[in-house]
DNA sequence: GTCATTTGGTCAATTTGTGTCCAAAAATAG
DNA sequence: CTATTTTTGGACACAAATTGACCAAATGAC
């Protein structure tokens, strides 16, 4: 059970964290030494955060880095599925492949 | 139940189809009017097939286009998971998001 | 109205990916 | 073994996508 709403995007998640902390874009951007406009775009999912960014956000907002990373990466999977005109079945296929690879290697 | 082995990559799948048909890279490449080296690379997953390519392959080898598309797209998801150091949990997250979006929209 | 916040567009620069060409390596046949 | 065919791999010019910065316009708070 987390503070933030589930089933949102990375950007929305980030924005929620910031607003929950009662800070403006400029404030957070200044502290983290990134452009205000860039941060705004990351929150609107118009720019991708780098790994570095994600780590900074996790540290700053005191959340698990993996939580944010998964939020970000799952967004990309969602985007792919919705835009390539395929369906949820693809997740099963991917899961099968990964499990297969894992049994093969370790 | 298909002719080809399951849990393989798009490229391996394609290669299996070609070899099953008893054709060489050059033969298939010539017929489909693509560079032999490019076809070889696609089979080794060193180049991505375009949508056009996938359609050509499906038509030529008489398989469902969606089957190949899903094979290709799932590869990308697998690649992402294996290389970004995350785990299968991300698929659940993605699934949740998609279902959430679908209920929201229609 | 003023001031702070947020958004949106533009841009040069970098990064990433593409298909083609050619030569080397590997496999196959004679 | 040699000759031929198939496959692989590198190099390349080119195209496409993404990036972060900058600035101005829009929005919101007061």
Candidates 3.40.50.1000, 1.10.10.60, 1.10.260.40, 3.90.550.10; CATH matching B10-76: 1.10.260.40
Determine whether the interchain pair A70/B81 forms a contact, defined as Cβ–Cβ distance below 8 Å: no
Contacts of B70 (CB under 8 A, 6+ apart): A86, A89, A90, A93
Q: Which nucleotide lies closest to B41 by the C1' atom and the CA atom?
A: D8
Alpha-carbon span B17 to B32, nearest angstrom: 15
- pLDDT per residue over B39-92, tens digit each? 999 999 999 999 999 999 999 999 999 999 999 999 999 999 999 989 999 999
Band (B106; pLDDT cuts 50, 70, 90)? low
Determine whether the interchain pair A94/B81 forms a contact, defined as Cβ–Cβ distance below 8 Å: yes
- pLDDT per residue over A5-59, tens digit each? 467 899 999 999 999 999 999 999 999 999 999 999 999 999 999 999 999 999 9
Tell me how far apart the terminal alpha carbons of chain B are, to the nearest angstrom.
Answer: 33
Band (B3; pLDDT cuts 50, 70, 90)? very low
pLDDT of residue A87: 93
The domain spans of chain A are 10-105
Candidates 3.40.50.1980, 1.10.443.10, 3.30.70.260, 1.10.260.40; CATH matching A10-105: 1.10.260.40
What is the mean predicted confidence (pLDDT) over B14-37? 98
Q: What is the pTM of this model?
A: 0.91
Lowest mean pLDDT among A60-64, B2-6, B12-16: B2-6
pLDDT of residue B7: 73
The yes-or-no verdict on residue A1 having pLDDT over 50 is no
Nearest residue for C17, CA–C1': B47
Chain centre distance of CA A47? 11
Contact between B86 and A76 under an 8 Å Cβ cutoff? The reply is: no
pLDDT of residue B4: 39
Contact between A100 and A70 under an 8 Å Cβ cutoff? The reply is: no
């Amino acid at each position: 059970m987390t503070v933030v709403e589930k089933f949102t995007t990375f950007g929305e998640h980030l924005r929620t964290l910031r607003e929950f902390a009662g800070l403006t874009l400029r404030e957070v951007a200044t502290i983290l030494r990134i452009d205000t406009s860039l941060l705004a775009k990351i929150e609107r999912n118009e720019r991708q955060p780098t790994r570095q960014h994600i780590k900074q956000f996790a540290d700053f907002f005191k959340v698990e880095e993996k939580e944010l990373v998964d939020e970000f990466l799952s967004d990309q999977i969602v985007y792919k599925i919705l835009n390539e005109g395929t369906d949820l079945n693809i997740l099963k296929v991917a899961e099968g492949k990964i499990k297969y690879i894992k049994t093969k290697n370790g």
